[in-house]
Chains A and B, each alone.
Chain A
C-alpha cells in the first residue's frame, strides 16, 4: 500500500454529500443532509416532530470531516455496532495507510455511498465487489463512524510511544470488576452509530474487511436503544432496568461545558489530540432477572429517581436538580447515601461530568437461560483521570446498583480530532 492518502486523490471525494442521498432516492428529507453542528438540534427536532418519533431520521447525514469527529455530540442514534481491533504485525507506514483507507471509506459510507469507489454492483465482474452491498437501498440514517486509539497502540511497535497522551491511562482495576479478557482493550476502535442497525453493521463489516492483514477484530458489540441523550431535543431513553438513563448527561447545547468536559484543549499536552476526546467503554451485564423480582420501592431507592418520570426522589420532575440533603420520614436522606444518582452526580464527584453515549444490549442468553443483557456504557470526556476514574471508583465502592450489575468488558481509547479533506484520521499523530 502506498503511504500517500487516498483521500486527496479520490476523484469523487469532493462530490456533494447530497449525491449519496439522491442516488438512494431519498430526497424527502435531503434538506437535513450535511447540516453543520449549529443547526442540528433544530433540524432534528423538526424531523422528530414530523415523524412523531424520538428523533430517528433516516435521511440525516453527518459529515465525516470536521474539527471534531462525528458520533460524540451528534444526537445519539438508536443503534450501535462497536468494534475493537488488534493491529497486526505491520509497519508504521502500513498503519498510517490503514487509517487513510478507513477514512476514505468512512467518508463515503457516512454520505450514503459504497465503501469503495465501484460500490456493490458496478465493479469488475470477476472481482469481489468493493462494498458488501447490504446497505444498498438504505439511507445512511445518521451514520457516524468514530475512530479511536487504545493505549497499546503507543507501545514500541509503531514508534508512537512518545505520542502517548498522559490522559490515555491504563484503566485501573475497580472493585467488583469481573472482566472477561476477551472483552478488554484493543489497539484501535470504531464506533458506528446509525438509526438503522444494518447500516451500522455494514460500516463495521466493510471497515473490518479493509483492515484484513493490517488489523483484526478483537471484540465487537451490537447495541440497540440508546441509553443517553446528547441533545436537548431528544427524549431521555430508558435502560434495561426500565429507568430513564442520562437525564443529567452533558448535552451538545451546553457548549461551554462540552468544551470543558469533552474536548481536549491545546493546553492539555500532546498537540495531535487537540480537538479530540477520550472514550471509556464498559460492557456492563445486568442481572435483570434478579432486578425484575425487586420491589418498586427497592428499585427507586437504588436509582434515586422515580421509575415513571425519572424525577429525583427529592421531588420535582425529571430535570429538577436532585436535592441530596432532603430528609425523609425516618430522618435519613430521601435519596439514600448509596443511590446511583447521588454517587454518579457531578456534585458528588468534584464537578466531574461525562458525555455518556451508551446502548442497551442483549447478546442472546447464558447457559442458565438468563438473558445476557445489559448496558454497553460509552462515555466521552476530556481527561479520564479526573472524570471516569474517580466517578467509577466511587460507584464501584458504594453504589447500591452493584448488586445488579457486573462490569465484564472494558477499554479506553484516545479519540483524535476529526479528519479533513486530504488529512486522514490521526494524520497529526504521524507528523
Chain B
C-alpha cells in the first residue's frame, strides 16, 4: 500500500571526504554537544554572526537562527574555503535549525547565504582546536557513493524485470480462469514488487493503480491493481464484505483488470529503465527505512493482504529489499559509525532467522490469519529492533 514517499524527498547530498558528520543518535551518546553547548549563528541580510570562532574538536552543534527576511543557508567550509564540511539549508525567516557536525582539528570558514544565492555573507575563519577526543575516521568518498547508487539502480532494474515476467505468468493463469494456479503465484509474484516498493511509490500515480487496497481508493476512482485481483481470487465471505455477498468478476472484467495491471507494471519498468534514472544516496537509505516502516505498519498488522493473508511473503520481500539497500551502503557508513553497522547487521540476521521459522518464499509462509498473537508479537518486536537503528541510517549517511 501507499505511504508518504519518504524515498523521493531526498535532497542533493553534499559529499565530503575529510570530515564525517555525527553519525548516529545513540541512546547513550559519548560526547555530543548539547543544546546548552551549541554554537549560535545568526544570519541576516548582511551578516553571519557566530558566537564563537573556535571550538574543541569532536561533535559541534551550530544552532543557526535566520534573523533576516529571506530563506538562508549556513555552511561550514574546509580550509580551502570551497569544500563543504557541513550545511543547513532552507532555514526560513525566524527559524532556528541545528547543524551537527563532527570536526577534526584544523582551520575552517563559516558563511551564511541569505537568499540562497551568490557567495554568501559574513565569511569568517573558524578554528577547531585539539580536544584529544578520538574522532570517527574519514567519511564517504565520492567513488563509493557513485558505485552504491549504480549498484542499487541495477538491482531495481533486475527486480522490475522479474516482476514483469512473473506478472505476465500470473495474469495468464488468472485470465484463463486457472484460479488455483493464480492463487499459487499471487504472493510469490508480489514479493518481487515488495522488494522495491518505496521506489514504486515514488511514481505515485503508478503505485495507486498497482497497489491500492480497497480502503485506500478515493470515492469516484476505480480500484485496480494487485489487490483488486486478490479479492477476486480470495473472495471474502459476506460478513467480511460489508454484509454483502461478494460478486465475482466476469470474464470480461478479469481481462480488463489483468490488462491494466500488465500495462501499469510495464510502465513502472519503463520508468526505472530510463537511462537518466538514478537515485541520490539518501533515497536509498530512506528506501531501506521505508521498507521496514511498510512492514511495521501494514504487514505486521495483516492489513496489506486482507483477503489472501499472504502478508509474510510481502514481509520477506520488504526485508530483502531493505537488506540489499543497506548492504550497498554498509561500507560507506562503516568508517563513521561501525557500531550502527554492527547493530543493523545483527538485527537483520535476527529478523530473517525469525521470519524463516514461518517459511520461505520457495516453500511458502504461514498465512497471517494462522499466526498466534504471540507469534505476531515476536515478529513485531523483531521489526522494532531493526527499524529503530535503521532509522538512523540516513543521518549517518548525509550532509
Contacts and interface: CB of A to CB of B under 8 A. Distances in A.
A212 interface: yes
Contacts of A126: 282, 394-395, 397-399
A118 B100 contact: yes
Contacts of B97: 125
A125 B99 CA distance: 7
Contact of B34 (A9, A11, A101, A105): A11
B29 interface: yes
Given A9-B31, A101-B28, A125-B98, A19 B36 contact: yes
B14 to A, nearest CB: 11
Nearest to A103: B28
Interface in B26-49: 26-38
A1 B28 CA distance: 9
Given A124-B22, A126-B394, A212 B388 contact: yes
Given A88-B385, A213-B385, A213-B388, A122 B28 contact: no
Contacts of A1: 27-28, 339, 343
B25 interface: yes
Contact of A101 (B25, B27, B35): B27
Contacts of A123: 25, 98, 100, 395
B385 A128 contact: no
A116 interface: yes
Contacts of B36: 12, 15, 19, 23
Interface string B77-98: 0000000000010000000011
Interface string A61-91: 0000000000000000000000000001100
Given A127-B394, A128-B392, A122 B63 contact: yes
Contacts of B387: 212
B34 A118 contact: yes
Interface in B251-271: none
Interface string A111-152: 000001111011111111110000000000000000000000
Given A117-B34, A124-B22, A210 B394 contact: no
B172 interface: no
B381 interface: yes
A201 interface: no
Contacts of B37: 11-12
A213 B22 contact: no
A209 B88 contact: no
Contacts of A216: 377, 380-381, 384
Interface string B1-25: 0000000000000000000011011
B167 interface: no
Contacts of B99: 125
Interface size class of A (residues with CB under 8 A): 35 or more
A144 to B, nearest CB: 21
The binding surface of chain B is classed by DSSP as mixed
Nearest to A130: B25
A119 B398 contact: no
Contact of B25 (A11, A105, A124): A124
A359 interface: no
Contacts of A212: 381, 384-385, 387-388
A212 B351 CA distance: 13
B389 interface: yes
B240 to A, nearest CB: 20
A122 B35 contact: yes
Interface string A9-40: 11110010001000100000000000000000
Given A119-B34, A123-B98, A213 B27 contact: no
A9 B27 CA distance: 13
A130 B395 contact: no
Interface centre among B31, B35, B339, B387 (most CB of A within 10 A): B35
A127 B98 contact: no
Nearest to B380: A216
A117 B32 contact: yes
Interface in B42-91: 61, 63, 88
A212 B390 CA distance: 12
A332 to B, nearest CB: 50
Nearest to A128: B391
Given A124-B100, A126-B394, A213-B347, A117 B29 contact: yes
A124 B34 contact: no
A12 B61 CA distance: 15
Contacts of B63: 122
B395 A213 contact: no
A6 interface: yes
Contacts of B22: 124
Given A117-B34, A122-B35, A128-B392, A213 B21 contact: no
Interface in B358-398: 377, 380-381, 384-389, 391-392, 394-398
A223 B114 CA distance: 50
A9 B392 contact: no
Contacts of A130: 25, 27, 29
A20 to B, nearest CB: 10
Contacts of A100: 28
Interface of A: 1-2, 5-7, 9-12, 15, 19, 23, 88-89, 100-101, 104-105, 116-119, 121-130, 209-210, 212-214, 216
Q: Top 9 nearest A-B pairs by Cβ distance?
A: A127-B395, A6-B28, A213-B385, A212-B388, A117-B29, A212-B384, A130-B25, A216-B381, A126-B395
14 contacts: A6-B29, A9-B30, A11-B31, A11-B34, A15-B36, A101-B27, A105-B27, A116-B27, A124-B25, A126-B395, A130-B29, A209-B388, A212-B385, A213-B388
Given A2-B339, A213-B388, 11 more contacts: A1-B27, A5-B28, A9-B30, A23-B35, A116-B29, A123-B395, A124-B399, A127-B392, A127-B396, A128-B391, A212-B387
